[in-house]
């Protein structure tokens, strides 16, 4: 006989934990990705916004091709191209205010550049010169994050701290579909929802985690559906429809800033090029699949809309492409200059005040450099 079976024993009633804490219906994403281009709603879109998005998309595409070429020339150690994903990258940058923070992954160099970061500084990490290459506080862009999803808890922490200080700051954290398989993804979304932190998670679903297809990563209906399990809204958007991504992110940023808590946005897009220059994508996907997605190219989609509305003509297209070429030429020239590096920079910006171990290591390196210089005389 157990304790609960004894006569007169205390029998607590079933706890109400099984009951929904919130109504899940408003948190569910739409059945289809949200779109604007090609719909009646497109006619009401702000012409200036469309032109700005198009300008950044054209520059972004050229930036991707130039950075890829620099990798093949040995000027970059690696470059994870975002060709095909430019709409999500640009929309993420433009949806934020100056006071907000962007938390990019290693593939989100274009988002950082669209936010105003120097194109060369955005590539410094991938060149292997510096840990970051820019001052995160100055630009309000966290370091490009190579470990998968580790930037997400950082974004939540910054957003929560800003709210505690009374600052109306929003953090927008970008992650790929592969990053959603990491524990950091779960921890970040759980903390953000419990704390109602002013943070927006943008998950770019580009179809593959390196060579692992979507079907082998999750059995969820969509990544956006995962939001419901954490108690936040999930939004599903066509990641190649730049105005649609911009609107969804702008709404999510506003919701976060006004106390509504976090949002998980899944942008359905496609990585048109290999994972990096070290990847052979022909081993795991067909040319026909890539060609089908090229027909849904984000640059072409927006360009056709602008031409349809009479907001852009052939001369305008040529002018934007010429401007992008100038940007690429300047990037190429600067990246072809050998950097002047100081080995002692290894110890710079590691700690505000160096530890005793770092001071010892710095002294050892300083002595070795002095000895090498003396031997070279």
Known catalytic residues? Answer: 271, 275, 284
Classify 312 as helix, strand or coil: coil
Q: Among residues 171, 242, 241, which one has the least CA distance to residue 202?
A: 171
Provide DSSP, 4-37.
GGSTT---PPPPGGGS-SS-SGGGSPPSS-B--T
Residue 336 backbone phi and psi in degrees, to 5: -85, -5
Q: What is the spatial distance between Cα 86 and Cα 38, in angstroms, rounded to a whole number?
A: 19
Provide DSSP, 164-222.
HHT----EEEEEETGGGGSHHHHHHHHHHHHHT-SEEEEEEE-SEETTEEGGGT--SS-
Q: What is the spatial distance between Cα 101 and Cα 140, in angstroms, rounded to a whole number?
A: 5
């Amino acid at each position: 006989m157990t304790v609960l079976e004894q006569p007169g024993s205390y029998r607590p009633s079933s706890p109400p934990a099984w009951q929904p804490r919130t109504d899940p219906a408003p948190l569910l994403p739409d059945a289809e990705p949200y779109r604007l281009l090609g719909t009646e709603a497109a006619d009401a879109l702000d012409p200036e916004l469309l032109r700005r998005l198009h300008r950044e998309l054209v520059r972004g595409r050229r930036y991707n091709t130039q950075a890829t070429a620099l990798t093949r020339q040995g000027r970059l150690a690696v470059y994870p191209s975002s060709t095909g994903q430019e709409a999500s990258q640009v929309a993420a940058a433009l949806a934020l205010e100056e006071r907000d923070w962007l938390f990019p992954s290693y593939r989100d160099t274009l988002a950082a550049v669209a936010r105003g970061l120097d194109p060369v500084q955005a590539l410094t990490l991938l060149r292997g010169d510096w840990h970051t290459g820019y001052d995160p506080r100055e630009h309000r862009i966290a370091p490009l994050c190579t470990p998968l999803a580790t930037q997400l808890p950082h974004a939540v922490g910054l957003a929560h701290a800003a709210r505690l200080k009374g600052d109306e700051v929003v953090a927008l954290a970008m992650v790929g579909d592969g990053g959603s398989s990491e524990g950091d993804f779960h921890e970040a979304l759980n903390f953000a929802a419990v704390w109602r932190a002013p943070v927006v998670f943008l998950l770019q679903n580009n179809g593959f985690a390196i060579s692992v297809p979507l079907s082998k990563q999750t059995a969820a209906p969509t990544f956006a559906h995962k939001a419901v399990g954490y108690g936040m809204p999930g939004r599903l958007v066509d990641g190649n429809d730049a105005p649609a991504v911009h609107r969804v992110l702008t709404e999510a940023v506003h919701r976060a800033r006004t106390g509504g808590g976090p949002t998980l946005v899944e942008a359905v897009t496609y990585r048109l090029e290999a994972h990096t220059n070290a990847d052979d994508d022909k081993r795991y996907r067909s040319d026909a699949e890539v060609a089908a997605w090229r027909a849904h190219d984000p640059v072409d989609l927006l360009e056709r809309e602008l031409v349809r509305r009479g907001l852009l003509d052939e001369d305008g297209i040529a002018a934007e492409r010429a401007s992008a070429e100038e940007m690429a030429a300047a990037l190429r020239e600067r990246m072809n200059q050998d950097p002047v590096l100081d080995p002692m920079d290894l110890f710079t910006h590691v700690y505000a005040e160096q530890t005793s171990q770092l001071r010892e290591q710095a002294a050892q390196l300083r002595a070795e450099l002095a000895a090498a210089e003396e031997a070279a005389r």
